[in-house]
Amino acid sequence: MSVGIIGTGSYLPSKVLTNFDLEKIVDTSDEWIKTRTGISERRIIDDNANISDMAVEASKKALLDADLEVSDIDLIILATCSPETLMPSTSCLVQQKLGAKTIPAFDVSAGCTGLIYAITIGTQFIETGMYEKVLVIGADALSRHLDWTDRTTCVLFGDGAGAVILGKVQKGYGIISNYLAADGKGADLLKIPAGGSGLPATEDSFEKKLHCVQMSGSEVFKFATRALPRATKAALKRANLTIDDVKYIIPHQANIRILENVAKKFGVGFDKLIKNIDKYGNTSTASIAIALDELQRANKIHEGDILLLVGFGAGLTWGANVIKWVKYKKSK
């Protein structure tokens, strides 16, 4: 028995915010955003929706894809950088909205690497025999934590959710290696300073926009170009594979130039890297799951294909999962 992905789903809000729309909000241009980041447009969550709503939509699609009922799920793990509330966890809200009875549910906070962490955690639960089917979600609405007067951050992010269902697959297939890392020395490079117990909401914190994303863009850029290759190499080594064995690299979508840099470092064709940043911007913990779901639904993944999910994010964190894809049996 191995553990693999037996269903995928994603959800993107319908509201589109283009670079041209942003030109009317801050001192920026479509040309700058496209050439410096690769982003053309992003989705923005509806005013009356929350990340649990997006997570539920993505989860329902993943359940349908796996031909499972919500009652088949044993555990929910939700990765996010923008929890709906500090307490309770967003995963409990999702559990309730899905009608999932009393199965355990918890959130994972690992920056944009959250999905990689959550997949790794979920895999362990199945491997130990504690649970059989785990719903893993990445959902974020960082648009609600952006300073819309700060052109260095507000052009980068979009909202969305992606989900995968982990379950048993035939031996030798599925998730064949994981690699996780973190370095708290870089905690200041990317953060939302206020709103937690360290700096609760005050008039002053609102005035100073301390509930918004703050980022040292060029430092994070440099970190990303080191972290993605490091995670890739480590996870592939654990799987006893090389980059040439990989059919698709599904990286966190933060900046197209970061991905170009990674492709160059590995000497691989740019086609090997899956990209959807042009349409959605950086959807944080959701980005890898959305890209995987789109690829899967386009019937581009075949049995035996090696996929590499690789991410980096606030923390700082980075990590990767190597997967040998198997056409899962649609049975319970």
Q: Report residue 135 as tokens.
A: 């719903």
Q: Which is nearer to ligand ACO, 112 or 135 (CB)?
A: 112
Q: Report residue 9 as tokens.
A: 């789903």
Q: Report residue 134 as tokens.
A: 């785990």
Write down the least CB distance from residue 35 to ligand ACO, Å.
9
Q: Which is nearer to ligand ACO, 288 or 306 (CB)?
A: 288
Q: Which residue is nearest to ligand ACO (CB)?
A: 313
Asked if residue 79 lies in contact with residue 138, where contact means CB atoms within 8 angstroms, the answer is yes
Asked if residue 319 lies in contact with residue 116, where contact means CB atoms within 8 angstroms, the answer is yes
What are residue 3's DSSP bridge partners?
168
Q: Any idea which residues carry the catalytic annotation?
A: 112, 252, 282
Q: Which is nearer to ligand ACO, 73 or 161 (CB)?
A: 161
Write down the least CB distance from residue 22 to ligand ACO, Å.
8
**Binding region for ligand ACO (CB under 6 A):** 28, 32-33, 36-37, 81, 111-112, 151-152, 155, 190, 215, 217-218, 220-221, 224, 254-255, 282, 284, 313-314
CA pair distance 195, 202, nearest whole angstrom: 9
Q: What is the DSSP string of 265-296?
A: HHT--GGGB---HHHH-B-GGGHHHHHHHHHH
Write down the least CB distance from residue 34 to ligand ACO, Å.
11
Asked if residue 238 lies in contact with residue 179, where contact means CB atoms within 8 angstroms, the answer is yes
Q: Which is nearer to ligand ACO, 85 or 218 (CB)?
A: 218
Write down the least CB distance from residue 165 to ligand ACO, Å.
24
